[in-house]
Amino acid sequence: MSTTVPATPFTSPASPDTLERTAAALKERNFAVEILDDSAAARDRVRDLIPEGATVFTGASETLRLTGIDEDINNSGRYDSVKARSRSMDRSTQLTEMWRMVATPDVIVGSVAAVTETGSLVAASASGSQLAGYAGAAPHMILIIGAQKVVPDLPTALRRIEDHCLPLENERALEAYGVPSALNKLLILNAEPHPGRATVLLLREPLGF
């Protein structure tokens, strides 16, 4: 007899009303927001939003991997991929240049660990490589966020990161890199000072951690 693992508050998708309320709160804080059905719609929309030939950096993200967006940006040849370029660079002699490339692409694409119904975005990172671009160094930012990442407030967002996201990311990091992850750096985006810089694609389906 099969058993079904019960959904938890951190894996259940937000209701349509909650998504609309969250989108409205983000818009009030100068984030451009689109509510999309699923990962396929997000993948198509990202292709529309990023001009061919743009310099693009993708933050490490299960959401981007699962949607195919990571593959599109870093391996299609359609864009000037920071990750693809950095593969041929020497970290021992070119690390400063690599950090500049990561921080200031034309477009940074990624996700966050949580988004609050009051309009805040919360990102967590072990290395911090994506955080400078998110915070404002990159002229344009696109975030793809699954419906299960919506939480009521910042305290719940931090609990989601520690109790739900970190264990899953730790497993991924051990498998991918042979080392555990760590909650070294947090970034909270409460508003966007420059209208038009940040686009949030809020999905109706759960996706990623």
Task: Write out the two tokens for 29.
Answer: 């804080």
Beta strand 32-36 with 198-203 is parallel
Please state the length of the chain.
209
**What is the residue-averaged pLDDT of the chain?**
94
**Domains observed in the chain:** 16-203 (3.40.50.10420)
pTM for the full predicted model: 0.94
Task: Write out the two tokens for 48.
Answer: 């529309």
Q: Is the pLDDT score of 82 beyond 80?
A: yes
Sequence-separated (6 or more) residues with CB below 8 Å from residue 168: 209
Contact 208, 165 (CB under 8 A): no
Rounded-to-integer distance, Cα 150 and Cα 143, Å? 13
Task: Write out the two tokens for 136.
Answer: 């404002």
57-79 confidence digits (pLDDT tens): 999 899 999 999 999 999 999 99
120-135 confidence digits (pLDDT tens): 999 999 999 999 999 9
* Residue of 162, 137, 170, 204 whose CA lies nearest to 62: 170
Q: How confident is the model at residue 146 (pLDDT cuts 50, 70, 90)?
A: very high
